[in-house]
Amino acid sequence: MLKRSAPLVPLLFSFLLAACAGPSLHQPVARYTPVPAPEPTTQHVDALVDDQPYELPGLADTVLERGFELVGTPYRYGGSSTKTGFDCSGFIGYLFREEAGISLPRSTREMIKLDAPLVARSELEPGDIIFFNNRGRGRVSHAGIYIGDNQFIHSASRHSGGVRVDSLADRYWRASYLEAKRVLAQKPVEGAFPRHR
């Protein structure tokens, strides 16, 4: 019997040593205590925040994408819908209201007075509203939306085919250009959201 249990003795001895090396039931087990992160300094916060106003991403693209879908919509004086047609301010107002949730004044004379950043002609970006004096009376009489590459989209006139794209390099539009405003920098109206088609 001793001969058969002899190989078990080293095994039992190993178990006893392992049990002695482990923590005792009477000794407290060390617990992990998290170290609190240091409070951010003013310099850290300043590095994360820039002075640029928040811009809604892709908003100009959304407005212009819908505008391109409406190319060919007839011109109609006082019009502001896809069913009846658009005049210039009705077209802009429709796009900004439906796609950006921004409510604009109905006429170009009121639209040009908006409290929005004035943009130099050399710094135009897609989505900026551009204003023209195409009647030679010294005041705003037409408006469109800049789309990039010196071009803009607008509801031109009954004779010109309604909603279309034209170039600011064209002599007529170059001569009647007044100014541009970055209306998309404004916050959308509370509770107004772009409609999904």
CATH number at residue 126: 3.90.1720.10
Instruction: Read off the pLDDT band of 138 (50, 70, 90).
Output: confident
Alpha-carbon Rg for the chain, nearest whole angstrom, is 35
27-36, 97-106, 188-197: least confident range: 188-197
> Which residue stretches of 34-189 are H helix?
42-48, 59-69, 88-100, 108-111, 171-176
Catalytic, 20? Answer no
Catalytic, 88? Answer yes
Residue type, 136: G
- Catalytic residue (choose from 20, 142, 159, 196): 142
Q: 127 lies in a domain? A: yes
Query: In terms of residue numbers, what domain contains 75?
Result: 59-185
The token duo for 81 is 């819908």
Instruction: Read off the pLDDT band of 56 (50, 70, 90).
Output: very low
User: How far is it, in rounded angstroms, from Cα 16 to Cα 19?
Assistant: 5
Q: 31 lies in a domain? A: no
Classify 167 as helix, strand or coil. Answer: strand
Q: What is the pTM of this model?
A: 0.67
The terminus-to-terminus CA distance of the chain in angstroms comes to 89
User: How far is it, in rounded angstroms, from Cα 72 to Cα 85?
Assistant: 10
The token duo for 66 is 């819908």
Q: 11 lies in a domain? A: no
- What total of structural domains would you count in the chain? 1
Q: 145 lies in a domain? A: yes
Q: 99 lies in a domain? A: yes
Q: 152 lies in a domain? A: yes
Give the residue-averaged pLDDT of 176-197: 71
Q: 137 lies in a domain? A: yes
- Catalytic residue (choose from 26, 88, 159, 196): 88
Residue 189 reports pLDDT greater than 80: no
Q: 52 lies in a domain? A: no
Residue 68 reports pLDDT greater than 70: yes
Catalytic, 154? Answer yes
pLDDT in tens, 96-111: 999 999 999 999 999 9
With CA atoms as reference, report the closest residue to 75 among 83, 87, 67. 87
